Amino acid sequence: MPQNTDNQYNYQSFQKVARFSKEDFYKQAFVEDCNTIRIKKEKVAVKNLEKIFEATFRICTRKGFQGMTMRDLSTESGLSMGALYSYFATKEELLNTLQRVGNSFITRVMEECVAELTEPLAKLRTILRTHLFLSEMIQPWFFFSYMEAKNLAKKERENYIKAELSTEKVITDILVEAEKENLLRTRNHQIAASIIKAMLQDWYLKRGKYAKRGITVDKYADIVIEWVEVYYLQTD
Amino acid sequence: MPQNTDNQYNYQSFQKVARFSKEDFYKQAFVEDCNTIRIKKEKVAVKNLEKIFEATFRICTRKGFQGMTMRDLSTESGLSMGALYSYFATKEELLNTLQRVGNSFITRVMEECVAELTEPLAKLRTILRTHLFLSEMIQPWFFFSYMEAKNLAKKERENYIKAELSTEKVITDILVEAEKENLLRTRNHQIAASIIKAMLQDWYLKRGKYAKRGITVDKYADIVIEWVEVYYLQTD
DNA sequence: AGAAAAATAGAGCATATGCTCGTTTTCTCT
DNA sequence: AGAGAAAACGAGCATATGCTCTATTTTTCT
């Protein structure tokens, strides 16, 4: 079976090489919303946004966004009610902010990751790995975003769906391109992309299960890529 | 029950041949809980349980179980608060009942579907198809169950996880058995079962997307089985 | 038809929850 | 050190929510 030539691209190298880190997530949140956030000093704001976001993820994993009360969030984050409301106007706004910031963060990273690649198969592998590495790095956000999308208001939910489909489209386009260059079998690429997306999502939705079985994100990436290659490179 | 010679086993035949229907779901709920349900007459109870369950699914799809108020449920189901509380003691109990009834329902159906089959590959295909057909028939329950599992109390959540893993184990066992008979390639069957499970879940989690693209459950079943066969039957 | 049983209705109670705002604490800069 | 600015605090208000309980309606049976 054809082997990956991207052995050196693993989670560790992703973290090292990437021009961003988990902290950029909170920085971006501050920069995007500094006009509505009542806290002036970036250092303070970023620190507290981290507290708020992390606390939200922890609580919502257990009881969901609707089940989380502002008192829960206050206790878990260590901030008072008053302090919390310096960062967002309403509970719903907190949800919107989280979704929006996360989406623009991953969009940026995903675009950067293939910017310099031209060979379709290399692009495909890189896209798959990067998506998995990103969802490993900010797994709580991915899980939260998926589970709480239904609580968004109309406009924000539409954005969510658009983002979902965009990931799928990126994969579809690469598959189509690769087939044109006779690198892959003829298949229904849109459906295939859908299936591949389901595999990617399983990683952040069932993070705990895989951890318990000792399957690292690098291992999982190999598995997904193996399924895709077998499906697309198999000869009749 | 469904046959093993695949071609004629589709969603329509599943519905016809199966010794159960959607309504059995509500009947089972009444039978299991008739000691706590304050309504005596089965006909009345089953009718209202249907109203309650369907209303719950409709509301929770939009705002989740925590976001649903008992007043919402009263309005949507057309029953008064008092009437609702004839069927369960607390809101939490409603959640427990829904999870429990659904689980025993699908366990029963899944066990019946392969009872008469011995050939591993036929068993595998039948399991996959039946799971998809079942999740098509009671899609709202599957979606609800998945999304609201986190709101369960400890004991009930453990049951949920057990049921999840059991589906996976059934698939793993068949794969192991098939490999022993040299019907399939050597692979890590547990991981493969995990991936297959993710594909099955995508059907009920993204029901709307597939509907919009005109992909029926029969088509989707073919796709999943194709992926599995390519992965397992491919020769080096 | 009429009485007993079964089922339904929905206002009302106690508590929980989102959010505000005057007060207090901490930080910054000279 | 001290004044002014920035940040944090948390009790309190208005409303929402889970659930109860009695009154009322519907069904059943003779």
- Kindly state the DSSP code that residue B153 receives in the 8-state scheme: -
Nearest to A195 among B190, B197, B227 (CB): B227
What are B137-178's pLDDT values in tens digits? 999 999 999 999 999 999 999 999 999 999 999 999 999 999
Q: What pLDDT, on the 0 to 100 scale, is given for residue B23?
A: 86
Which residues in 23-42 of chain A line strand D, with CB less than 7 A from it?
A: 38-41
Q: Are A87 and A80 in contact (CB under 8 A)?
A: no
Which residue blocks in B114-206 are alpha helix, DSSP H? 120-137, 139-148, 154-180, 189-205
Structural domain A90-236, CATH architecture: Orthogonal Bundle (1.10)
Contacts of B52 (CB under 8 A, 6+ apart): B73, B77, B79, B84, B87, B94
Distances (CA, A) of B153 to A221, B29, B92, B150: 33, 20, 9, 8
Class (C level, CATH) for B12-233: mainly alpha
CATH 1.10.357.10 positions along chain A are 90-236
Alpha-carbon distance A52 to A27, whole Å?
Answer: 13
Which positions of chain B have pLDDT values less than 50?
1-5
What are A142-181's pLDDT values in tens digits? 999 999 999 999 999 999 999 999 999 999 999 999 999 9
* Structure token pair of residue A71: 């008192």
Mean pLDDT (chain B, rounded): 94
Interface residue B233 vs chain A (CB under 8 A): no
Nearest to B195 among A191, A199, A234 (CB): A199
The residue type found at A35 is N
> Are the beta carbons of B236 and A150 separated by less than 8 Å?
no
Which nucleotide comes closest to B40 if you measure CA to C1'? C6
Residues 158..217 of B with a Cβ closer than 8 Å to A: which? Answer: 190-191, 194-195, 197-199, 201-202, 206, 209-210, 213, 215
- The three-class DSSP label of residue A153 is coil
Contacts of B133 (CB under 8 A, 6+ apart): B11, B14, B15, B217, B221
* Structure token pair of residue A66: 């609707």
Q: What pLDDT, on the 0 to 100 scale, is given for residue B87?
A: 98
Q: What is the mean pLDDT of each run of 10 residues along chain A (236 residues)?
A: 61 85 91 96 97 98 98 98 98 98 93 91 97 97 98 97 96 97 97 98 98 98 98 82
Q: What pLDDT, on the 0 to 100 scale, is given for residue A4?
A: 46
